[in-house]
Amino acid sequence: MMKRLRGRNLAHPGCLVGITLGLTVGIILAAILAVNNVSLNTVLLIWLGLTLLLGALGWVIGDRLSSRFSTPDEHPS
């Protein structure tokens, strides 16, 4: 599996995972906040912020991991 990652940018899959987690956790948190009578604007801003934050965090982590799996030089000497 590690050989298949070589030369690939992991920022895009990291962002996808971050956005998915942000939406899922954000919906659960929004439901909990809505039950506790928090205003709709506050719930929506928290949900949006969490989604964007986790998406950006996934992008950064994926980008940092990409350097660990860089393409080896394939020039036989």
Per-residue pLDDT of 8-23, as tens digits, reads 667 778 888 888 888 8
More confident residue, 52 or 3: 52
How many distinct structural domains can be found in the chain?
Answer: 1
More confident residue, 10 or 32: 32
Is 75 inside a domain boundary? no
Indicate if the alpha-carbon torsion angle 25, 28, 34, 35 is positive or negative. negative
Q: pLDDT by residue (tens digit) across 42-77?
A: 988 988 999 899 989 988 888 887 766 565 555 454
> What is the span of the domain harbouring residue 49?
7-67
Q: What are the tokens at 24? A: 């899922």
Is 55 inside a domain boundary? yes
pLDDT at 17: 86
Contact (Cβ atoms closer than 8 angstroms) between residue 7 and residue 60:
no
Is 77 inside a domain boundary? no
pLDDT at 8: 64
Is 1 inside a domain boundary? no
Is 62 inside a domain boundary? yes
Share of the chain above pLDDT 70, in %: 73
Q: What are the tokens at 41? A: 């604007």
Is 16 inside a domain boundary? yes
